[in-house]
């Protein structure tokens, strides 16, 4: 059983570092226009805003893609000398910024840097005819950053400098992604505790769960994971590190191909995972498969659920139960050439967990794919 630490009181957290949620996640990619098309067609996102040369931003093109409260920005470089191009060259398409919405950027930045965070951008007011936004940025693991965004006084489509943009025409089935549930990073061996402490100090986070390597391992590979959160469930950031094992773990494979720490997967919440996964499959999203034997063990373990278990099995969805309820989840294959970033769809029915009971099966499924790539 994973060790659950005491829930901190909400009051305590509001005093330390008030966070309103994940504002958006920004990727640096090789071709932002095509990334926006892929997320529109495959994941059912709507392009809502754009910034680039046409809006007097000379060095980049950025497309904002939204679905309910989940918001991604895909940014590509206009030339070889920018940090965006260097990031894409080094890491492949990957997450640059897990941006957090806060009520007061000046306070958040001062608090975080006083607690030891490295500043990347000091609090900066950006304005246009729709109002003003305050933004600041701190460094996190690898080349990843966290921006703080204050947007109470802004009514434009995204941020100043962006114009509204027509969505990509799309007649695919409705997907029903609600919001970003958690963003998981991989760090190097020995880095997990360091980064857990970073989030505890800099963002006032608490540890929600700790998975030890003996809980998350297969015959060949193992990992350790700590889930850090804001105490209210608005922001959950699990941190994985590889554990010493017989063969190269999936975390080692990530670190090798991403060339350092970074975002491994983003979980998106659905309230109807059967509908969401059916729609995503129709749209061409490919998922990791578990064998039929998984369901023989799973049925007695999960007990009664609201969903049709035959459908759950047909769609290859995973299920896990803990003392608070159950959850259904599924993982996509990597969404770029390098074996780095992937997505999770999660449907929570009381459970605040992360699917500990599924880790082993999932590991075996991931290892089968790692082996196909010659990376195990
Ligand atoms: Fe996850």
- Gap from CA of 130 to ligand 1 centroid (Å): 36
Q: Is the pLDDT of residue 150 over 70?
A: yes
Average pLDDT over residues 106-114: 98
Percent of the chain at pLDDT exceeding 70: 96
Q: Is the pLDDT of residue 308 over 70?
A: yes
Find out whether 21 and 244 touch, Cβ atoms under 8 Å: no
Give me the residue spans of the domains in the chain.
2-164, 177-373
- Gap from CA of 184 to ligand 1 centroid (Å): 7
**Residues 2-164, CATH architecture:** Roll (3.10)
Q: Which residues are bridge partners to 146 per DSSP?
A: 138
* DSSP class of 140: -
Average pLDDT of the chain, as a whole number: 93
Q: Is the pLDDT of residue 126 over 80?
A: yes
What is the pLDDT confidence band of residue 342, given thresholds at 50, 70 and 90? Answer: very high
Residue 293 is predicted with a pLDDT of: 87
**What is the value of pTM for the model shown?**
0.94
Same fold? 2-164, 177-373: yes
Rounded to the nearest 5°, which phi and psi values hold at 273? -65, -30
> What six digits make up the tokens of 217?
């391992």
Percent of the chain at pLDDT exceeding 90: 80
Three-state secondary structure call for residue 210: strand
Assign domain 177-373 one CATH number from 3.10.180.10, 3.40.1160.10, 3.30.365.10, 3.90.930.12: 3.10.180.10
- Gap from CA of 169 to ligand 1 centroid (Å): 30
Residue 9 is predicted with a pLDDT of: 44
- The span from the CA of 376 to the CA of 370, in Å, is 5
pLDDT tens digit string along 45-75? 999 999 999 999 999 999 999 999 999 999 9
- Residue from 356, 336, 375 nearest 248 by CA: 375
- Gap from CA of 228 to ligand 1 centroid (Å): 12
What is the pLDDT confidence band of residue 15, given thresholds at 50, 70 and 90? Answer: low
- The span from the CA of 312 to the CA of 347, in Å, is 12
Contacts of 83 (CB under 8 A, 6+ apart): none
Average pLDDT over residues 216-239: 88
- Gap from CA of 356 to ligand 1 centroid (Å): 10
- Gap from CA of 268 to ligand 1 centroid (Å): 9
Residue 34 is predicted with a pLDDT of: 98
Range with lowest mean pLDDT among 77-86, 292-301, 314-323: 292-301
Find out whether 147 and 97 touch, Cβ atoms under 8 Å: yes
């Amino acid at each position: 059983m994973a060790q659950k630490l005491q829930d901190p009181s909400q009051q305590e957290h509001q005093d330390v570092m008030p966070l309103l949620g994940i504002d958006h996640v920004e990727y640096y990619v090789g071709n932002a226009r095509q990334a926006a098309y892929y997320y529109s067609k495959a994941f059912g996102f709507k392009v809502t805003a754009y910034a680039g040369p046409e809006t007097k931003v000379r060095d980049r093109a950025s497309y904002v893609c939204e679905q309910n409260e989940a918001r991604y920005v895909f940014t590509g470089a206009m030339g070889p000398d920018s940090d965006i191009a260097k990031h894409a060259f080094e890491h492949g398409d990957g997450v640059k910024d897990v941006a957090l919405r806060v009520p007061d950027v000046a306070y958040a930045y001062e608090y975080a840097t006083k607690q030891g965070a490295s500043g990347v951008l000091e609090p900066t007011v950006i304005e246009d005819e729709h109002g003003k936004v305050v933004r600041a940025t701190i460094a996190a693991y690898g080349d990843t950053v966290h921006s703080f965004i204050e947007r109470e006084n802004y009514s434009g489509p995204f941020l100043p400098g962006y114009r509204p943009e027509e969505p990509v025409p799309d007649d695919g089935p409705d997907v029903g992604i609600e919001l970003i549930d958690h963003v998981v990073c991989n760090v190097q061996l020995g880095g997990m505790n360091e980064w857990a402490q970073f989030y505890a100090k800099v963002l006032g986070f608490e540890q929600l769960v700790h998975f030890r390597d003996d809980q998350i391992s297969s015959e060949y590979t193992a990992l350790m994971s700590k889930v850090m959160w804001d105490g209210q469930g608005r922001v959950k950031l699990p941190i994985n590190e590889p554990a010493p094992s017989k063969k190269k773990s999936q975390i080692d494979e990530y670190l090798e191909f991403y060339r350092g720490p970074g975002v491994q997967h983003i979980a998106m919440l659905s309230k109807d995972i059967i509908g969401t996964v059916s729609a995503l499959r129709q749209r061409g999203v490919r998922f990791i498969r578990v064998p039929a034997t998984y369901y023989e063990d799973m049925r007695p373990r999960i007990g009664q659920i609201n969903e049709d278990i035959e459908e759950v099995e047909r769609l290859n969805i995973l299920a896990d139960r803990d003392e608070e309820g159950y959850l259904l989840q599924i993982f996509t294959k990597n969404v770029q050439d390098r074996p780095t970033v992937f997505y999770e769809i999660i449907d929570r029915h009381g459970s605040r967990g992360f699917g500990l009971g599924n880790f082993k099966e999932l590991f075996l499924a991931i290892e089968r794919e790692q082996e196909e790539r010659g990376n195990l």
